[in-house]
Chains A and B, each alone.
Chain A
Amino acid sequence: MKLELHGITKRFGSLVANDHIDLTVEEGQIHALLGENGAGKTTLMNVLFGLIQPDEGEILLDGRPQHLGSPSHAIRAGIGMVHQHFMLVPVFTVAENVTLGMERTRALGWIDRRRTRRDVRELSERYGLQVNPDAMVEDLPVGVQQRVEIVKALLREASVLILDEPTSVLTPGETQELFRIMRELRAGGRSIVFISHKLKEVQEIADVVTVIRRGQVVGQLPPTASDTELAALMVGRSVQLRVTKKPAKPGEVRLDVQALTVPGEEEKPALDGVSFQVRAGEILGVAGVQGNGQTELCQALLGLRPAASGSVRLDGRDLTHATPQHRLRAGLAYVPEDRQEDGLVAGFSVADNIILDVFDQPPYARGIAMDLATRDAAAAERVADFDIRTTSTATPVGTLSGGNQQKVILAREVGREVRVLVASQPTRGLDVGSIEFVHRRIVEQRDQGLAVLLVSSELDEIYALSDRIAVMYEGRITGFRPPDVPAEELGMLMAGATGADAAATGEAVVQAPTAGGPDTGLMGSGVLGVGVPTDTTTNPSSITHGSPAGDQPATDDDGGEPE
């Protein structure tokens, strides 16, 4: 079915969320909608799904204008939506979830389970969804739950499928699986609107890319467009996709972790004899598929999880059994993985969040009396310094965009005297512009002599920032590698191969770094001679530091530090 949007406009008060948006999605097309957080993508899709009524404009399906007053109208018209947060009942089976709201009944209101199961199985086979109709939804991994949502839409005969940021919850492997399914669906003649802010994914899967910025369509490009081109359109200015950084000058050992073991939820320890050191002026990247102990490692470093054995030393001081407060005071800066949950108090002002871990220290407090003037002055300074976009320091931090929230956390953590920075997934869910900023700041901190431990499940991020890479698998570190290690080898380590195996296999598989050679590598630094393997299967298709396209001008060598 061909979907056309003409001049869709939606205003919320003075804010124009959608400004005369035109969009045409052909039958059998995967149409990517690319835009930063807050660009108006979700509003547009909510209009399309009947959740919001547009102020102006019309929606046509196969040339016929539609009035979509509610989601049920949209569903009847053949539009299906897979939300970012799934709308499933965890304690129901797949078949029950799928028929919820459209139960097929036989005489006397008996629900025809057999028919539903058969339908689910049929659809599942046709598109290779691999969904078992009898499985309980709560037992399924996130990727499969998402496929249940797709089945749900398909069963309602959706010919236009809207996927709202579908990859944000998926692992790299699951993402590839989703892409395969999307291709199958396209082959079956369905139209797909794919919402994303991840350039690589869009390049990989889309037939057409429409870029939205501030509620307006700013361009339509083929997926072959370079990532710089896309990013520039999306952000509205040219974006430095590669982090320029000088070679590291490691100094003395700042963070020394020896044989750290932390009990897990089950019998197996969450951390099993982890040892590493981070020196002043270097970034140690911890790579690994999520859920292999990275979260626990960070929590243990902050002191939120007690260590069963082993030791944690900061500048030689034993902090193994210190409280979080002790460790923070000893010079640990901590950027938590879950910004909303652990990093910020959403209802508090920007200023209060900036002093959240120094609120009772001079000069912010004298005795138990807080000095609000000092707080506000310090906050104003950080807001300017970190370019935090907020109307004032009194604005609740929860109303800020994700990127600005992360800036608040960074401003807080590195704004005081610190020795070691532990940053966990520092750019998760951020848009291109913010990622650039956060990365630049992390490198800056390194250059000022901080020891940085970067934990990330984005391989690109690890490559872009790390001076050394450690790989975690099932609570252990399976190996340390230099930053020019091929992705295949890291992939092997991430899958649990021991160091020696991985090195052997990696060498066997990997050819010389492709496309462009060392000087266009992520580091932009000829000194390290880093090339980035592209188009590798283990490389998660993710946000930033895109494949080094050949036409990309090499960033300045050596002296290429910004500022």
Chain B
Amino acid sequence: MSEPAAPPPPAAAEPAAAEDASSAPRGRPPVSRVVLDSILEGNSVVVTILAIVVAMVLGGLLIAFTDPDVLRAWGSFFSDPGYAISLAWDTAWGAYVAMFEGAIFNPHTLTAIFHQASLGTALHNGYFSALFNPLSETAVNATPLIFTGLSVGLAFRAGLFNIGAAGQWIGGAIVATWLGFGVSLPPVIHVVVCVLGGFVGGAVLGWIVGELKARTGAHEVVVTIMLNYVMYYFLSYILGTKAMQQPGRTDLISPVIDIDARLWHIAGPSLRINAAFLLALLTAAGVWWLLERSTTGFEFRTVGANPSAARTAGMSVEKTWVRAMLIAGGLAGLAAVAVIQGTDYQLNFQSYGTYGFDGITVALLGRARPLGIVLSALLFGALHAGGVQMQASTQIPVDIVTVIQSLIVLFVAAPPLIRAMFRLRKAKATGLSENVAKGWNA
């Protein structure tokens, strides 16, 4: 098999989580577990919001002081300090304005509408689409993140670190794509079959992880990271085979899926927003119900919070692990469905993106709660959509968005820092975080 230039393998970006792979002594949670618990449980909403604000401010400084013009102005700071400061401000402000215009609302599109002869012609010429395009892009970018965030978050509630959303994404993507171009089915049924196929593709990978953990005790962090590599290279292999490669192409790309297998646009053909977004919101609601209102979720949460107590109460911890990983994998598979059937319509490494790993961040920021995950996915979606616009209009590299995301997580992960900065009093401990605190002292 030829090995055409594939992008670098998935970054092993979670050393902290990997550390606890070495067996932790019974009765004491591993450090990474305690840390993650305190991130997920110990933060108030206020701290989260402040973390976002601080990250944006620091991001702004970074934008200003990596800009060559600003640096030159600061070089002559003493001759003209006012200019240096105002240029720095303008640069950062300009970047955020561009981001806002790309992610939420661009006033120019609104004024353009009024320059049209009538609202009818404006509608006809697509000016309204332009008006809503930023929001549509935000939703499109957020959709797969909602799914992978739910995947990581649900597993976490059952006490498992699903680092494998990236690999499960590939599993779902391969199945959904193949069903998309490989079989022909009547319109609605084709979509449904592909969506279910995507879920199953991811779920199988999740199930493998859960089963290995339940039967042999293999740590899910190690297994999922390794499976990420396996799936990554499997994808680059299968995209080069006759089964998946688009005929006539030499690069790694699948055929385009049938029109019938595509998810419907929900705001006109010129906006990319599609039914996947609605599916994501529905899934989030479903996951909430599963976790908070169903017996399955009760078992997940019990096992996640205290496996010994779960066992003593007659629950099967092992079966719960398998079930949780299966559903988590399926959710990551749905993220692939959102990308392949929603926007890209074919599978290559560009569609793979970084959804799997961003899902971890989203779940952290959303504190593993479905509503929180949806909100933080929307935030990240907006940052991505805005970042693209920012790069186009200000030449500031889109990578700054990644920096801002990382800063947000950094501050969320260090609540004492935020509390100290804003002189907040320690959030009133809930049961779990209080326990965590006790864990530190013991």
Contact = CB atoms under 8 A, between A and B. Distances in A.
Contact of A341 (B27, B299, B314): B27
B293 A370 contact: yes
B434 A398 contact: yes
Contacts of B432: 346-347, 396, 398
Contacts of A348: 301-302, 305, 431
Contacts of A346: 305-306, 431-432, 434-435
Interface in B281-320: 293-296, 298-299, 301-302, 305-306, 308-316
A85 interface: yes
B345 to A, nearest CB: 36
A131 B142 CA distance: 63
Contact of B430 (A323, A357, A396): A396
A85 B309 contact: no
Contact of B313 (A85, A357, A368): A357
Contacts of A323: 314, 316
A373 to B, nearest CB: 12
A356 B302 CA distance: 8
Contacts of B430: 347, 396
A396 B293 CA distance: 18
B79 interface: no
Given A346-B305, A396-B430, A398-B431, A324 B294 contact: no
A238 interface: no
B312 A345 contact: no
A392 interface: no
B344 interface: no
Given A347-B41, A347-B435, A398-B435, A342 B312 contact: yes
A396 B316 CA distance: 23
Interface string B251-294: 00000000000000000000000000000000000000000011
Nearest to A357: B313
A304 B308 CA distance: 10
Interface string A359-372: 11000010011101
B431 A325 contact: no
Interface size class of chain B, counting residues whose CB lies under 8 Å from the partner chain: 20 to 34
Contact of A343 (B298, B299, B309, B314): B309
A369 B305 contact: no
B442 interface: yes
A396 B435 CA distance: 11
A343 B316 contact: no
B2 interface: no
Interface of B, helix, strand, loop or mixed by DSSP? helix
Contacts of B434: 346, 396, 398-399
Given A85-B441, A356-B302, A369-B294, A336 B431 contact: no
Nearest to A341: B308
B429 to A, nearest CB: 8
Contacts of A326: 314
A55 B299 CA distance: 45
A119 B112 CA distance: 87
Contacts of A325: 314-316
A324 B309 CA distance: 12
A326 B316 CA distance: 11
A357 B430 CA distance: 23
Given A323-B316, A399-B431, A370 B294 contact: yes
B110 to A, nearest CB: 47
Contacts of A324: 311-314
A370 B293 CA distance: 6
A397 B309 contact: no
A352 interface: yes
A302 interface: yes
A323 B312 CA distance: 10
A304 B296 contact: no
A352 B291 CA distance: 13
Contacts of B311: 304, 324, 342
Contact of A336 (B41, B299, B312, B314): B312
A85 B442 contact: yes
B305 A368 contact: no
Contacts of B293: 369-370, 372
Given A324-B314, A399-B434, A345 B305 contact: yes
A347 B305 contact: yes
B298 A352 contact: yes
A360 B319 CA distance: 15
B295 A341 contact: no
A344 interface: yes
Contact of B314 (A328, A344, A370): A328
Contacts of B294: 368-370
A304 to B, nearest CB: 6
A409 to B, nearest CB: 10
A194 interface: no
A369 B316 CA distance: 19
Interface in A307-362: 323-329, 334, 336, 338, 341-348, 352, 356-357, 359-360
Contact of A359 (B295, B435, B442): B295
B36 to A, nearest CB: 14
B326 to A, nearest CB: 15
A329 B315 CA distance: 12
24 contacts: A302-B312, A323-B316, A324-B311, A324-B312, A326-B314, A328-B314, A341-B306, A341-B309, A342-B311, A343-B312, A344-B309, A345-B301, A345-B305, A345-B306, A346-B305, A347-B431, A347-B432, A357-B314, A359-B298, A360-B295, A360-B299, A368-B295, A398-B434, A398-B435
Interface of B: 27, 41, 293-296, 298-299, 301-302, 305-306, 308-316, 430-432, 434-435, 441-442
Given A347-B432, A369-B295, A398-B432, 9 more contacts: A326-B314, A341-B306, A345-B306, A345-B310, A356-B302, A360-B299, A368-B296, A370-B293, A396-B430
